Amino acid sequence: MAKPTEERMIKQPTMFLALLPIFTMVILLCLGYVLFELPPEPLIIVSAIVAGLIAFKLGYSYNDILESISQKIAKTMPAILILIVVGFMIGAWMVGGTIPMMIYYGLKIIDPQFLLITAFLVTSVVSVCTGTSWGSAGTIGVAFMGVGAGMDANLAAVAGAVVAGAYFGDKLSPLSDTTNIAALSTGVNLYEHIGHLLYTTLPSFFVAGIVYVVTGLNTHVSSAGVPEKVTDIMNTLATIYDWNLLLILPVLIVLYGSITKKPTIPVMLLSSIVAMANGMIFHGFTLHDVVTSVVSGFDIAMVHISGFDPNTVIADIPRLINRGGMSSMMGTLLICFSAITFAGTISLTKSLELIVDKLLKHVRSTGSLILATIATGLTMIGVTSNGQVSILMPGEMLREAYIRRGLHPKNLGRTVEDSAAITEPILPWTAAGAYMAGTLGVATLSYLPWALLCWTGIIFATIWGFTGFGIAKLTPEQQKEMLKEYDDPHYGSRKDAAEAASAH
């Protein structure tokens, strides 16, 4: 029988042992995920096994490792529940017509002279509503590429505007998996995290918008008209749904909850229920349709509308609206649990503290800390090519450093998104870069200069870091409370027990 932890000799890790699990994960993701296209989850678990073996070598027991992982999972459980509810809400918004109506009216406002800014704005709206950059670029983005080709426009510029818009929405949408993961990894409320993102995202948005407007005004494009594909998308959506202003109500509910800082999950569930009711009342969907949509995702092939044949629709429609549902979040949850297992194991040995101490040895100011975070995020996304891992790991590694310097962790979440999440599509070797290039038909390096929002955020993050603008500070009370998590090893267990008792 193993001796209690306090009676065993616990050794401190060397820098080599501290870095070994991280190097293992980076090498496995580079070789397995990037080169051989293996799923990242088992590669991360193998890295966690390496971290576990090192923990045994340092004197920790199997139960110590399990307890550390359990505490990490308990801490992130509220964010994990939000991810599941997000999938629920996407399915409800699809079957209720909220997202399709945004798409429909976005496509109606195409103007040849303002093609770039229109592509940017419409893709932004669709991405905010759907929470998916890939889905927005692969549907609305492809439609705008068709419009650009018909008007003999600069397709690299159009593609850049589409990618920028897609990642604007992906960054700010409460439905986005990367946005939820960034909030999860830094322990920040989802809406508080999104609100803090505005400090760097809005300036980037306005810079990109100005460039697109000026370019459009100084560029001659032919008025060849709207391509047939765009017309077909609009006509099909109008056949499935009955447009009216009440379809916007679910969005207004979420906006109201965000502004008034209401609890996230109840607000999302209320919004979803309203959307489900809209689907049955206005569009003729059955109870089976709406329940299936929130569980497995909205599937146009399964809808029950008299006189409508889903087999006759163009391929873009299913790609556009067949998504959502709680099951759609299972892949994201799996990679989160894998990363949490790795983080829980490596944090037990204090390896992260040792690495961060070395990393931040020469950090003397908030600006240099922001720069170090940007470098970490860019390195992670450049090496692993996985946006989710590139958000989770810096968030786990650097959170304590921010708190000890009196900086709110939401500064970390924002900077990680600026450096890792939205730079992914402008790197040709990443999955996002390859997807955007293949989907839009323009090489990544060709549209990179035009995808302004994807790289100007780093510039504003650096400026704000050195000037102090938009940098949230912790009060002494907040800092003391947050540091308990790191200074008191039993804090998490006592807090969970107190919360459980108060619930009864």
> pLDDT of 443-493, one tens digit each?
888 999 999 999 999 999 999 999 999 999 999 999 998 888 777 655 554
Q: Domain span at residue 109?
A: 79-329
Q: How confident is the model at residue 75 (pLDDT cuts 50, 70, 90)?
A: confident
> Bridge partners of 407?
473
Q: How confident is the model at residue 66 (pLDDT cuts 50, 70, 90)?
A: very high
Residue 270 lies in a domain: yes
Residue 156 lies in a domain: yes
The mean predicted confidence, pLDDT, of the chain is: 83
CB 219 within 8 A of CB 153: yes
User: What is the reported pLDDT for 219?
Assistant: 72
Whether the pLDDT of residue 366 is over 80: the answer is yes
Question: What residues contact residue 58 under an 8 Å CB cut-off, 6+ apart?
Answer: 10, 11, 12, 13, 17, 349
User: What is the reported pLDDT for 150?
Assistant: 62
Residue showing tokens 């870095």 = 19
- Picking from 487, 346, 464, the residue whose alpha carbon sits closest to that of residue 404 is 487
Q: How confident is the model at residue 503 (pLDDT cuts 50, 70, 90)?
A: very low
Q: Mean pLDDT highest for which of 359-368, 376-385, 401-410, 435-444?
A: 401-410
Residue 295 lies in a domain: yes
Number of domains within the chain: 1
Q: Mean pLDDT highest for which of 35-49, 67-81, 166-180, 401-415?
A: 401-415
Residue 477 lies in a domain: no
Residue 309 lies in a domain: yes
Whether the pLDDT of residue 110 is over 60: the answer is yes
CB 159 within 8 A of CB 449: no
Whether the pLDDT of residue 278 is over 70: the answer is yes
More confident residue, 6 or 280: 280
Kindly state the average pLDDT of the residues 315-324: 72
CB 310 within 8 A of CB 303: yes
Residue 412 lies in a domain: no
Residue 301 lies in a domain: yes
Residue 401 lies in a domain: no
Q: How confident is the model at residue 243 (pLDDT cuts 50, 70, 90)?
A: very high
CB 408 within 8 A of CB 191: no
| pLDDT above 70 as % of the chain | 88
Q: Mean pLDDT highest for which of 81-95, 333-347, 457-471?
A: 457-471
